[in-house]
Chain A
Amino acid sequence: GEDVEQSLFLSVREGDSSVINCTYTDSSSTYLYWYKQEPGAGLQLLTYIFSNMDMKQDQRLTVLLNKKDKHLSLRIADTQTGDSAIYFCAESIFGNTGFQKLVFGTGTRLLVSP
């Protein structure tokens, strides 16, 4: 089945680390993604990880993948007020014609307070 789950809300103080968690169901997913959406805007690709990796670091962002448990997390170090947004986890699923589509979670709203 296609199902991606995320917690709905996370609140942190500026300067703290934020950890956003996600679970997915399709074990054949080749890539897993994190997107950021600010109010009224489209989705901004933050980072992605190939399914044969267990960690990827990109500046303040660290992605951890536990393929056995189908668990993905995004850690944001030194969280800033500008990081306040909705964060979506997505897995890639092969469609009927062999293309890859994205299946998104419901998003985690991150609120960073000064």
Chain B
Amino acid sequence: DTGVSQDPRHKITKRGQNVTFRCDPISEHNRLYWYRQTLGQGPEFLTYFQNEAQLEKSRLLSDRFSAERPKGSFSTLEIQRTEQGDSAMYLCASTPSGETQYFGPGTRLLVL
């Protein structure tokens, strides 16, 4: 399968714990996006990478969130001191050119 992959698919954690998600984009896609989707809503933009450079972050991305793409390939999204409001589906997408974004299956986070 050469699509976007994300790991883990599901994560349950206790409030206050740190979690890290991984996204592997489609090979040679230099642009990578993170979105968050809460129940009953459409995805909302969180952040964007072009190669290893993080070029934009949404206001939704508080100081507890950090994203990296160290070698311009896979990306990680870390949430520190999780809160119940962080419960959501975290989606990763990649694109070679910006016209069409291809999404991964998402990581569903539940914070108890």
Asked if B45 CB lies within 8 Å of chain A CBs, one says: yes
Instruction: Count residues on chain A whose CB falls below 8 Å from chain B CBs.
Output: 25
Binds A, one of B69-77, B79-87, B97-105: B97-105
A41 close to B48 (CB less than 8 A): no
Partner of A42, one of B41, B100, B106: B106
**Closest Cβ neighbor of A90 among chain B residues:** B42
CA of A97 to CA of B91 in the docked complex: distance in angstroms? 21
B44 close to A104 (CB less than 8 A): yes
B42 close to A104 (CB less than 8 A): yes
A97 close to B98 (CB less than 8 A): no
B55 close to A97 (CB less than 8 A): yes
Instruction: Count residues on chain B whose CB falls below 8 Å from chain A CBs.
Output: 27
Chain A hits for B43, CB < 8 A: 43, 88, 102, 104
A95-B56, A101-B33, A101-B48 are known contacts. Are A42 and B105 too (CB-CB below 8 A)?
yes
Which applies to chain A's interface (DSSP): helix, strand, loop or mixed?
A: strand
Which applies to chain B's interface (DSSP): helix, strand, loop or mixed?
A: strand
Chain B hits for A102, CB < 8 A: 33, 35, 43, 45, 101
**Closest Cβ neighbor of A104 among chain B residues:** B42
Chain A hits for B102, CB < 8 A: 45
CA of A48 to CA of B45 in the docked complex: distance in angstroms? 19
**Closest Cβ neighbor of A95 among chain B residues:** B56
* B94 smallest CB distance to A (angstroms): 12
Chain A hits for B4, CB < 8 A: 42
CA of A26 to CA of B24 in the docked complex: distance in angstroms? 31
A31-B99, A95-B56, A102-B101 are known contacts. Are A43 and B91 too (CB-CB below 8 A)?
yes
List 14 interface pairs A-B (beta carbons < 8 Å), by A numbering.
A40-B108, A42-B4, A42-B6, A42-B105, A45-B101, A45-B103, A96-B56, A97-B56, A99-B50, A100-B98, A101-B45, A101-B48, A102-B43, A106-B40
Residues of chain A whose beta carbon lies under 8 Å from any beta carbon of chain B: 4, 31, 33, 35, 40-45, 48, 88, 90, 95-97, 99-107
